[in-house]
Amino acid sequence: MARSLTFRAAFVSILIFAAFILAWHLSTRGTSAVQQMDPEYAKLMGITATQGKSAMPGPLDVGQKLWEHLKRPFYDNGPNDKGVGIQLAFSIARVALGYLLAVLVAIPIGFLIGMSPLMSRALDPFIQVLKPISPLAWMPLALYTIKDSSLSAIFVIFICSLWPMMINTAFGVASVRKEWLNVARTLEVGTLRRAFTVILPAAAPTIVTGMRISIGIAWLVIVAAEMLVGGTGIGYFVWNEWNNLSITNVINAILLIGLVGMVLDQVLAFAGRMVTFPE
């Protein structure tokens, strides 16, 4: 039954995909009325103006362009013409760096908040105020103080990844079952050993859930951040291609952003399954 459900779900997925592609193809195929224009002028114009072709590319155009990108992902023809592989690598590296910094800060602080009711109350107002700030609002401040656009983007990733991880860690640590802590107490387990052998494994599923939320947010924010800071990265690529009026490339970038985001999420989902324990 489960197998046949999987099979049927896959079938419906393919059906939906095919219907979408077909609708897309049909809606972008048509041509509209063409204005009369001077042939000299028409030479300067694209096929959109001369043949009434829709400016929105069809699935075949996008697929063809995607194939070109995938064939040569790492070419580098100067600042404004780099392969999507390179652009994605820049984005992933920024996210990884900012995210890892956030892990290093958020998890110890989360532990502290979770273990100490005093620190929990003392830090709560700061977290409550800082958490809802859009990460991009930090950008000018980061640019001014760091004076480096690439590092500023990393800082923005850091700040947006911080809160979900910190809050989840604190929650996970604070809600470790009292009976497990009592086991550690009756065994005279020291604070550090208790943190690593009881609290960390008990809170790990909650912590990894926070990390999963954070990586999702970080990947959302990097696109916007790179549109602002420019230079490299998939977000810059999207904006650059928009300025080139290459909707095909924009659609391809959107697709790749989605795929990379999915992979990042699945990696954390896998980590979550690794640390989850059945009760």
Binder of another protein out of 52, 108, 201, 258 (CB under 8 A): 201
* Minimum CB–partner distance for residue 84 and another protein (Å): 41
**Nearest-CA neighbor of 155 among 168, 169, 171, 141?**
141
Among 16, 130, 187, 259, interactor with another protein by CB under 8 A:
187
Rounded Cα gap, residues 165 and 172, in angstroms:
10
Specify the amino acid at residue 61.
Answer: D
Among 84, 115, 198, 238, binds another protein (CB under 8 A): 198
Nearer to another protein, 127 or 181 (CB): 181
Question: Alpha-carbon distance 147 to 184, whole Å?
Answer: 49
Q: Which is nearer to another protein, 4 or 186 (CB)?
A: 186
Asked if 180 touches another protein (CB under 8 A), the answer is: yes
Cβ proximity to another protein: between 145 and 182 the closer is: 182
How wide is the angle at C-alpha 96 spanned by C-alphas 84 and 212, nearest 5°?
105
For residue 18, the Cα-to-chain-centroid distance in whole angstroms is: 27
| Smallest distance from another protein to CB 15, Å | 39
Is 182 among the residues that bind another protein (CB under 8 A)? yes
How many residues of this chain bind another protein (CB under 8 A)? 17
Is 171 a binding residue for another protein by CB under 8 A? The answer is no
Options 202, 203, 215, 217; binder of another protein; rule CB under 8 A: 202
Give the residue, chosen from 105, 197, 228, 265, that forms a contact with another protein under the rule CB under 8 A: 197
CB of 65 to another protein, least distance (A): 48
- Taking CB under 8 A as the criterion, the residue among 56, 146, 189, 247 binding another protein is 189
If one counts every other C-beta atom within 10 angstroms of the C-beta of residue 200, the result is 18
d(CA 52, CA 31): 5
What is the closest distance, in whole angstroms, from the C-beta atom of residue 193 to another protein in the complex?
A: 8
**In contact, 274 and 209? CB cutoff 8 Å:** no
**Positions that interact with another protein (CB under 8 A):** 177, 179-180, 182-183, 185-189, 197-198, 201-202, 277-279
